[in-house]
Every structure is written in structure tokens, then in C-alpha cells.
Structure 1
Amino acid sequence: MLTIYGVLRSRATRPLWLLAEAGTAFTHIPVIQSYRLANPAAADAPLNTLSPEFLAISPQSAVPVMVDGDLVLTESLAITLYLARQYGGDLAPRDAAELAQAEQWALFGGISIDLPGIDIIYTYADGLADTPDGAAKIAAAVDRLSRPLARLEAHLGQHDHLIGNRFTVADIMVAECLRYSQAHKPLHTAYPNTFAWLTRCQSRPAFVDMMTRRNAEPV
């Protein structure tokens, strides 16, 4: 049985969005990050990334984790790409060239987009964006994003999607990496094609439903 471990307030959104788009049946086991709990080892603590039963599956102590038969994967983008190929139908790459492009976009999102975006979203979430330190942190993140977003902007100026002229796993992976940066509105002005594409991706019913459920989870 296909099982995904992880709460929606984590990178588990990537494979969970893919599965929602595909309409694939699976078991979802919420596992909260241990750092969000006062005492993750308490007897009444919810299942978390330091729970012994979860560590038996993922010694790295991180979510998401996918179990599909004997296969265990622990990286969100690898999980999402695997699920697309196994269960995603037209969301999956159609041939070797599209697979190479999807893998390229996954690496692009994970290496170039994700971490600067994390700096941005946490600075805003912590209410520090208007402080000198917060503004400096955001400015540094924006500088790191300038080259990859310029590349994405040029591509999306000529294409509606990342590969194959259709919505695919590549769009899901990069859109979820970019979501962390979208709180910084000047980026929307600087990269209009990119954020128009992100809006289209996030307007899909599967994403809207997923985010509604995510926002209902405890912060």
C-alpha cells in the first residue's frame, strides 16, 4: 500500500499535491516535525519525527517519507517524481527527454529556489521583514534568486508550462519550491511571467483543496 508520512505544513505538500492531481488512492499518516513540539518524547506527544516508530522508517528524522511496497524514499522531490512516473498518467514525463527535463527542473528548484525562499518566508512569518536584520536577510535571498528567476522568467515568457506544453510534475515541484518566496511582493513585479504561472498552478482545484486543509492544521 502506498503511504505518505508527514503533515501538510511541510514539504509533504509536493507529493500530496501530485497524488491529488492524479486521483491516486494512498494512506496519509500525519507526522509532525519534532521541533514544533515542547516535548516530542512525552507520552502524549503526537507522532513526530523523533518518535521511535517513525525513526525506524526514516533515521534522518525528516518528513516527508514515502513507502510503496519495499521502496522507501525520503526526499520530497524524488518522491514526487517517482509518484508521477508510477501513478501520474499525463503528469509524468512521456519520454527520456521529458524525464531529463523534469529531473533538471527538480534539481533547479531544490538547489536554486527552495532555500532562499525559506529565508524569505520565515522572515515574514516571524514578523521581521521590516526590521533592519530582516530586510537584509530578504535582500540577500532576493539576490540569490536573481539568476534562477531570470532563467525561469525567460522560459515562461515562451511557454505556459515547464515541459511538454502541459501541466506536469515539473510544474508541481518548482511551484512548491517557489511558494516560499511569494510573500515578497517586489518579486511579482520583477518576474511577472513567473508569478503569473505560479498563480495558474495555485488556482488548480487540487492545490486549493490541499492548501485549505494545510491551513486548517495547527501552526
Structure 2
Amino acid sequence: MLKIYGVYKSRATRILWLLEELGLPFELVPVLQAYKLDDPKAPGVRLNTHSPEFLAINPMGSIPTIEDDGFVLNESLAQTIYVAKKYGGPLGPQDLSEDAQMLQWTLFAATSIESDALRISVSNSSGRLSTDAGQAEAKAAARLLARPFGVLEKHFSDHAYAVGDRFTVADINLAEIVRYAQPWQPLLDQHPKTAEWLARMQGRPAFKAMWAKRLAEVE
């Protein structure tokens, strides 16, 4: 059985959404981000990303980590690609061309979108997005995101999904990164086809099930 180290309120949403789509059983080992604890190394503190026993599994001290029959993988986007290829059926690539396209969209999201989109997400979660300074920060990030979002807009003007004519792991990887920019509505308003695609992805029952568990999670 797959073992997932992490919590829902983290990048683990990527692999956890995929597992909901697949209906694949897994064991979740709660590992909290160390920055959320006053003293992550205090005696008796809960398992966290600075705990020696977790660092023995993932020396980078990041979540999620997955373990599949002794095989350990620490990068979340690599995890989704791996699971989709091994267990995903139509959610994974059906040939070498699709494999390359799924990897391309995944890397595009990670390198061209995630960093700037996270600036918007962090500003929103910290409450700064409602301030003048936070809005200025979001506008600056949105300007940098205009080009990659333009690429998405062109693609989703002609295609319903990232790869092929079906929902795949590429949509999960893209959607979970694009989501970080979602609090800045003007960016989505300027890219309506991308916004429509994201709404369809987040309307899937598996996403809703994963997100409900995230909202219910007690840290």
C-alpha cells in the first residue's frame, strides 16, 4: 500500500487528489511543516519536517514524501507522474508522445508559474492581499504571470484538457499550481478559458473530496 507522509494543507494535495481520482488505497502518515510549530525539536512534539525520523526518510525535510513497497520519492510532481504511470490507466500517458507532453506541462507549471503564483497565495493566506501593499505585490506577480497564462489561454481555447482529449495527471499538476494565483481574480478575468478549465478541474468529485478533507484537517 502507498504511504504518504505529509498533511493535506501542503503540496500533498497534488498526490492526494490523484489518489482520490484513482480510488487507490493509501496510508497517510501526518507530518506537519516545522514552521507551524513553536519548537519543532521539543521533546514529545508531533512528527514534523525537522523530526530526525522524518529527515531519515527525506533529508530535504519537505512534504509530501511517498513510499511504495520500499521505493521512496520526495518531489511532489515526480510523485504524481510516477503514480499515474504505475496505477493511473488513462490518467497516465498512453505513449511516449503523451509522456513527453505531460512532463512538459508539469515542468512548465513548476518553472514558469509556481514561484510568482505562490507570491499571490502567500499574500492571500497572510491577509495582506486586502492591503495596498499586498495588492501591489499581487499586481507585480500577475504581470510576470501574464506570459505563461497567455500560453495556457491559447491552449485551452482549443483544447479541453492539457494532454489529449481526456483528464490526466497533467491537469492535476497544472491546476494545483495555477490554483496559487486564484485569489487574484483580475488575472483569471484576463484569461477566461484558463479560468473555465480550472473551474472544471476543481468541480471534479475527486477534487472536492480532497479539498473537503483539507478544510477539515486540524493542525
Instruction: Please report the TM-score for the alignment, with normalisation by the length of structure 1.
Output: 0.97
Partners of 1:143 and 1:134 lie apart in 2 by 14
Letter in 2 for 1:164: G
Structure 1 gaps, min length 5: none
Alignment correspondent of 1:67: 67
Alignment correspondent of 2:213: 213
1:42 is displaced (CA, Å) by 2.0
Letter in 1 for 2:183: A
Aligned counterparts, 1:54-133, within 5 A? 54-133=54-133
Aligned counterparts, 1:167-182, within 5 A? 167-182=167-182
> 1:150-190: CA deviations, max 9, x gaps?
00000000000010110000000000001111111111210
Structure 2 gaps, min length 5: none
Alignment correspondent of 1:150: 150
Alignment correspondent of 1:3: 3
TM superposition outliers: structure 1 runs of 4+ over 4 Å: none
Deviates more, 1:20-29 or 1:77-86: 20-29
Partners of 1:136 and 1:47 lie apart in 2 by 37
Alignment correspondent of 1:140: 140
1:136 is displaced (CA, Å) by 2.3
1:70 is displaced (CA, Å) by 3.1
Alignment correspondent of 2:191: 191
Give the alignment's Cα RMSD to 1 decimal: 1.1
Letter in 1 for 2:44: D
Partners of 1:158 and 1:63 lie apart in 2 by 35
Partners of 2:4 and 2:22 lie apart in 1 by 15
Count of residue correspondences: 219
Q: Percent identity?
A: 48
* Contact 2:20–2:209 (Cα < 8 Å) also in 1: no
1:117 is displaced (CA, Å) by 1.2
Instruction: Please report the TM-score for the alignment, with normalisation by the length of structure 2.
Output: 0.97
> 1:195-219: CA deviations, max 9, x gaps?
1100000011111011111011236
Partners of 1:200 and 1:10 lie apart in 2 by 22
> 1:51-83: CA deviations, max 9, x gaps?
111011001000010111232111110000000
1:4 is displaced (CA, Å) by 1.0
